[in-house]
Amino acid sequence: MSDDKSVKTFDDILKQTDEAVLRALREWAEKIVTNAQREKRVYMEVPVRTLSNVHYDEESGVIKMGDRVAQREFLNVGHAKRFLQTALVAATIKDLVEEGITTSLRDVYYRIKHTIPGTHENTVDEQKESDKVIEDLETMLGFVREQLHVFSKGGKGQLAGPIQLEEIVPNPDGGVRTVEIDGENVGMGGWSVPPIAEPERVRIKNVEAEFVLVIEKSAVWTRFHEDRFWDEHNCIIITAGGQPDRATRRIVHRLHYDYKLPVYVMTDADAWGWYIYSVYKQGSINLSYLSTTLATPDARFLGLTISDYHEFGFPKTVKIKLTEQDKKRLKDLRKYPWFKHKAWHREFDLMEKENFKMELEAGSSKYFRFLTKEYTPAKLESKAFLP
């Protein structure tokens, strides 16, 4: 995971990964051919990604995938289409890597979509089919989707603070150039986290910060940025504007694992915000095989909670009554093993009992700088984090 400081040029870093991906693709394809020749049967082995092969690993604190593997056969009516789709996507990825192009999941879907000659059957009908195949290929090849040159959407993340980075950007006609990023000298929008934030494309050069503060909402992040919270508290502030994209989670993960920075997360006091915390922390069930690159199990929850409402004496006008959907989501949270801590269940109980939720912006009911000047410093001082 750690950035290799011995690699000579930036071009090399990206090239190394690209070559490793192409090698893995070739070996994967050759294995299908070899097996076919030996067993007279065309199939590929795909790790099982259903819930039955996923478990929460208490020790590491992440959702992990088991060892079960299924065979996807070419001459099986139930498998043939998925087999074909996998081959098409694999060929597309080979093109992308060879041409030095990155692209979106949606583009890959259109790229492989065509009508099979002589039939009215399409290779794919919906994007979720090609998305699933890309996930299969991630597990089969051992590279994350971003290393296969495929991203989801444009970047959503915004970052500021004492950190120097370097983006390695391929030139359309070959080679790469580098773009220097100084996290202390970014505009009000911050550094826009790119759609792919793997070490071969985003190189962390220097980190002066002592911790990472993840803020759920972009508008709240703007307040922290405007107040130069990162300067006063020597930290990196980052937001993904709601549900985090993979690139933002990847940066948080890398800052924690490569630079040993503690990670604190701030969200609204509601089931949706708390779930977002758990996405940064544990990863999501259907991407369990990525937990080791995306999750940050040591992340701690800074706030907001219903206990905070009482402790910091918020006015009652900030209370928002729970909807049926809020209550349902809260029930869901109770079931997640990583929310099994007593401290969290006390908060769940409290929210249910008092029947309200609360937003980060509620801080402004006191004064505009309440979060940056009073609440967050107090939490950092007392270390009153939730697990």
Catalytic residues: 110
Q: What's the burial of 164, exposed, middle or buried (CB within 10 Å: 0-12/13-18/19+)?
A: middle
Instruction: Name which of residues 56 to 95 contact a copy of itself (CB under 8 A).
Output: 95
CA distances from 314 to 115, 201, 332, 373 (A): 60, 44, 27, 15
Report CA 267 to chain centroid distance, whole Å: 16
- The yes or no reply on residue 134 touching a copy of itself (CB under 8 A) is no
Paired tokens of 306:
């219903």
Of the CA atoms within 13 Å of residue 259, those in its CB half-sphere come to: 23
Among 43, 89, 147, 155, binds a copy of itself (CB under 8 A): 155
Range 159-178, binding a copy of itself (CB under 8 A): 167, 169-172
243 binds a copy of itself per the rule CB under 8 A = no
Pure H helices in 203-294: 218-226, 229-232, 246-259, 271-282, 291-294
| Count of residues in contact with a copy of itself, rule CB under 8 A | 68
Of 317 and 382, CB closest to a copy of itself = 317
* Contacting residue, 61, 183, 194, 262, with a copy of itself by CB under 8 A: 194
Binding mask 273-312 for a copy of itself (x = CB under 8 A): ----------------------------------------
Q: Is residue 223 close enough to count as binding a copy of itself by CB under 8 A?
A: yes
Applying CB under 8 A, does 239 fall inside the site for a copy of itself? Answer: yes
3-state secondary structure of 148: helix
Give the span between the Cα atoms of 224 and 160, in whole angstroms: 10
Start-to-end C-alpha separation, the chain:
24
Distances (CA, A) of 135 to 62, 100, 151, 224, 273: 18, 21, 12, 36, 26
Q: Which stretch binds a copy of itself (CB under 8 A): 21-29, 213-221, 275-283, 344-352?
A: 213-221
**CA separation for the pair 367, 383 (Å, rounded):** 23
Shortest separation between residue 83's beta carbon and a copy of itself, angstroms: 20
Minimum gap (Å) between residue 352 Cβ and a copy of itself: 24
Task: Give the range of 72-80, 224-232, 302-310, 376-384 binding a copy of itself by CB under 8 A.
Answer: 224-232
3-state secondary structure of 163: strand
If the CB atoms of residues 64 and 369 are measured against a copy of itself, the closer one turns out to be 369
Stretch that binds a copy of itself, among 1-9, 48-56, 147-155, 286-294 (CB under 8 A): 147-155
In three-state secondary structure terms, 198 is coil
Q: 263 - beta bridge partners? A: 212
Give the binding range for a copy of itself (CB under 8 A) out of 7-15, 71-79, 81-89, 218-226. 218-226
Q: Is 151 in the site for a copy of itself (CB under 8 A)?
A: yes
The reply to whether 10 sits near a copy of itself by the rule CB under 8 A is no
**191 touches a copy of itself by CB under 8 A:** yes
Q: Nearer Cβ to a copy of itself, position 40 or 316?
A: 316
Whole-angstrom Cα distance, residue 262 to residue 255?
Answer: 9
Closest CA to 306 of 270, 332, 265, 279: 270
Residues of this chain that bind a copy of itself (CB under 8 A)? 95-96, 99, 101-104, 106-111, 113-115, 122, 151-155, 157-158, 167, 169-172, 179, 181, 185-196, 201, 217-223, 226-228, 239, 241, 315-318, 359, 361-365, 368-369
